[in-house]
Amino acid sequence: MMISAIVLSGGKARRMNGEKAFRVVNDKYLIEYTADLLNEMNIPFVIVFRNDGEKSDDTKNLEKDFFKKYRQTITWDLEGNKGPLMGILSGMRVLNAKWILVLPCDMPLISRDAINNLIKYIDIAEKEKKNCIIPMHENGYIEPLFSLYMRSSMEVLDRMLNKNSSNKNLSMRNFIEHLSPLYVDAKKIDETGRAFININTLEELKRINSKFQ
C-alpha cells in the first residue's frame, strides 16, 4: 500500500477539560469523523493515543470501546511528553506504506476531497525529491498535522527524539526544517478552509455543534 494514515490522539487537551478525541460533535466522537472517512476511503490507519498515568478509567474504557468498534490498529506514544513528533514516530513504527498521511483527531469537517487533493501532489513531490507535502495558507501558516510524510523521514524523527532529552525544539516546524518539504497552497487542498478547522476549546466545540443544528 502506497499510503497509510496516522490519527494523532495524544494531546492532553487541557482547554477541553478532558480527552479531545472523545468530545461529541453532532452525536459522534470527534475522532470518529476522521476514522469513518479513512475507512470509507480504504486508507489503512493507526490511532496513536498518549501513554501516561494520567488517564481516567473512563478514558481507558473509551479507547477499548473504540478499538472494539473499529477493529483498527491502536498504539500508544513510545514515550510520554514528547508531543506530536513522538505520536508520528510511534505510528510510523507500525506502518509500512511509502507515504504516511498525518491527521489530528479533532477535524470534524475533514473531507474526502481535501485528502484526495493532498494525495494528488505525491507524484510532484517524488519527481522533485521532496519527502513531505505541507499545505500552507496565504499568511504563511502551515498545516503540519494535515500533511503527507514519507516513511523514510522516520530516521529524522528518531535522531531528533533520541538526542533531545530536554524536549527542546521538538516542534513540528523544526521537524519539517530537517526535511525537504513541498509546500502547497492550502486553497488547492480545500478552497473553503473548512477541512482545516480543528477544535481546541469548549467554546469552539459549542460553536461547531451549533453548525449541525
Cβ atoms of 46 and 74 closer than 8 Å: yes
Give the residue numbers spanning the domain of 137.
3-211
Query: Would you list which residues are annotated within the binding site for GTP?
Result: 8-10, 20, 77, 106
- Give pTM, 2 decimals: 0.90
Domain CATH number, residue 84: 3.90.550.10
- Report the run of H or E that residue 115 belongs to, with start and end: helix 112-119
Query: Would you list which residues are annotated within the binding site?
Result: 8-10, 20, 77, 106
Q: For the chain, 213 residues long, give each residue's pLDDT as a single digit of tens.
A: 599 999 998 666 565 666 788 888 998 999 999 999 999 999 999 998 877 666 667 777 777 777 777 766 777 766 666 789 989 999 999 999 999 999 999 999 999 999 999 999 999 999 999 999 999 999 999 999 999 999 999 999 988 888 765 556 778 999 999 999 999 999 999 999 999 999 988 888 888 888 776
Query: Would you list which residues are annotated within the binding site for Mg(2+)?
Result: 106
Q: How far is 111 from 131, CA to CA, in rounded Å?
A: 23
Three-state SS for 191? coil
